Structure 1
Amino acid sequence: AFPIKESKLISILPQDSSLLGQNAKILVKLPNGSSEYYFLKIATIGTTGSSLCEGEYESLKAIDSVCPGFVPKPYGWGKCKENGEDAYFLLEEFRELKTKPADPATLGKQLAELHQKSQSPTGKFGFHIKTSHGRVIQQVDQWDACWASLFGRHLSHFMDVAKPVFDWPEFDRLCDLTLERVVPRLLLPLQENGRVLKPSLIHGDCWDGNTANDAKTGNAIIFDACSFYGHNEYDTGNWRASRHKLSNGEYIRAYKSIIPPSEPVDEWDARNILYSLTFNIGNAVYIPGSDQREAVFHDLAFLCQAYCPDFSSLSYPFPVIEVENKLDIY
């Protein structure tokens, strides 16, 4: 059913498809005789599509309640049929896009506003349901006062998805060491020595393809969200990869001019590498032709060598890794 009762479908205009399903711009006639466009997304990835559509619906609803207009307004989601197979749909407001991605100044300002204004309903990190980063159902539906604990579970699930795909014993060992040593070493200090870390509502997958400037207002708009309440810096982890236009230093400088790095400031870049892992693992596992498998391995090796003092004595025969594309935060 459409948001306005007794609306009638006039036409369906297919839009760009994705690895997850089909998209369409649909035109409906309203009871008063006027017409309205909506955006329809159909996920054809089995039962994961349920988490994808429900998670995005709840994510957009949460973001819209804090920053109206920053996302398309969501209207509903549910189960449907596509070519005779079970599928899931999400119906939302149609927004005409101008430029993609959004320009640095407007995106940085509006994303920072979301992070600053949002308030966790429990005062903790997490979300009230699982959300889905592509085909990976995120383990974020357990409220936790400790960000290191929540992020550790979140990252661990991505690693569990990747291990059988990579089939690389050295990768498995680096993953385990990262969870055991690096995550607590880098993230626990955010909430120690009197430091308070605010759980911010994050987009969850902010990259070039999920942001644009609105054709009517010129403001930034974000979509395809898989949100939860986390450390605000997590949203910029996806800006590190050189494959993204958001890796342009103007984006991170625009953002941090409003929200500076958390203390300890000198560990910002290492946290950025850590936060980039989920995005790059997802890319490596599910994007055809991805070159991120080795990049993820190198980042893991760098973090382990930098933050595990006894790394060299742990029988990890890895070379010293030089990290490229360090983001300028000063």
Structure 2
Amino acid sequence: MTDISVWDKEIPVPVRLIQYIDQNVREKLPPGTQFHGIAPSGSSYWARTAKIDATDANGEPTPFFIKVHQFEHGKNMVSSEFYAMKLLYSIIPEMPDTYFFICRFRELSNDIPDVADFPALLAEFHGRSKSAAGDFGFPITMFGGRNPQTFPLTKSWEECFSKGLDKIFDMEEQTHGPDEEMQRLRDGLMTKLIPRLLRPLETEGRVLVPSLVHGDLWDGNASADVETGRPMIFDATPLYAHKEYEMGPWWCNRHKMTHAYIEEYIKHMPRSEPVADFEDRGALYNL
């Protein structure tokens, strides 16, 4: 989810970079592609985004979407996004590949995916996507906006989640400096709340299977294809996680994906045991 502190800041990438189609971009697209123009499209707080109007070798319209970053940090951001979207698409190609580096342009609606089919499709995705080594976490650093997110590979979801959240607290302290109240909250989360809510998932004979999740599935990262009506997801920060982690943003009342999406999802993917902790786990994942 986007930090409100960036809303009024200038995008840290010059607009001139999407006022022409760079030769390096041209060379990466299919042979025979004819280029007809480029114009800003979509929105981002830390990148420039544009639509490239083009036709293929047969003269059929084949528009592309491009996202441009700068410098080493930007290189890491686009590299991780490409890796993420390629992996998600390999598991469920029915959810079209869109919005990584440069890809086929999709005209998106101004609304979120339909509650009647999107949660079911997401549940199917979680059911298909199993970690080959049985690990939670992710092998490379992903980026939520400009912020690196690291979830180490481990056999324990409690350990993976704790270490990932601990890194976020570290970045918060580096940005704003030490805070006594924040440290108390951090200690309570790490030593009491997380063990209380996550440890029971993997004790008393219970086994938690890692599922690949989008990782930031709020309404700003999901829409529908205007032409087909099919759900579209983008800007992923994936990891192998407890499947309920995906629904973290849906517990937040200000988001468009409401509890109705949660209720529909659990019709297709049962809640983990202990079921009594389901809502409390949701509140934890909403942090």
Q: Return the TM-score normalized by structure 2.
A: 0.84
Greater shift, 91-100 or 56-65, is seen at 91-100
Unaligned runs of 5+ in 2: 1-26
Is the counterpart of residue 18 in structure 1 residue 18 in structure 2? no
Matches within 5 A, 1:163-182: 163-167=173-177, 168-182=179-193
User: Which one of 35, 38, 41 corresponds to residue 64 of structure 2?
Assistant: 38
Q: 1:71, 1:223 within 8 Å by CA — same for their partners in 2?
A: no
CA, structure 1 residues 220+188, in 2 after alignment: closer, same or farther (shift >3 Å)? same
Match of 2:239 among 190, 210, 228: 228
Letter in 1 for 2:216: D
Aligned counterparts, 1:38-117, within 5 A:
38-44=64-70, 46-73=71-98, 90-117=101-128
Q: Residues 211 and 73 of structure 1: is their aligned pair in 2 closer, same or farther, counting only changes over 3 Å?
A: closer
In the alignment, which residue of structure 2 is the partner of 1:146? Answer: 156
Aligned residue identity for 1:270: D
Which whole-Å CA distance do the structure 2 matches of 1:27 and 1:69 have between them? 24
CA distance in 2, matches of 1:123, 1:195: 15
Please name the residue that 2:273 is paired with: 263
Gaps of 5+ in 1: 77-89, 278-330
CA drift at 1:166: 4.9
Give the deviation of 1:147 after TM superposition: 0.5
Contact 1:126 1:228 in 2 (8 A): yes
Shift of 1:63: 1.2
- The aligned counterpart of 1:307 is none
Is the CA contact (8 Å cut-off) linking 2:62 and 2:104 kept in structure 1? no
User: Displacement of 1:37 after TM fit?
Assistant: 0.6
1:76-130 Cα distance to aligned partner (Å, 9 max, x none): 7xxxxxxxxxxxxx11221122342112122211111111111212111122211
Alpha carbons 1:61, 1:73 under 8 Å: kept: no
Amino acid at match of 1:196: V
Question: Percent identity, aligned pairs only?
Answer: 35
Paired residue secondary structure (1:239): helix
In 2, distance between residues paired with 1:182 and 1:249?
23
TM-aligned CA distance change 1:180 to 1:51, over 3 Å? farther
Equivalence for 2:203? 192
Q: SS of the residue aligned with 1:97?
A: coil
Contact 2:112–2:223 (CA under 8 A) maintained in structure 1? yes
* Alignment partner of 1:183 is 2:194: yes
Query: How much does 1:32 deviate?
Result: 3.6
Q: Give the AA of the match of 1:254.
A: E
The structure where strand makes up a greater share of residues is 1
- The 1:183/1:163 distance shift into structure 2, 3 A limit, reads same
1:35 CA drift (Å): 3.5
Count of residue pairs the alignment pairs up? 260
Structure 1 counterpart of 2:56, which letter? L
CA offset digits 1:235-293 (Å, max 9, x no partner): 111112222111x221111111111211111111111111111xxxxxxxxxxxxxxxx
The structure-2 alpha-carbon separation of the partners of 1:213 and 1:35, relative to structure 1 and needing over 3 Å to count, comes to closer
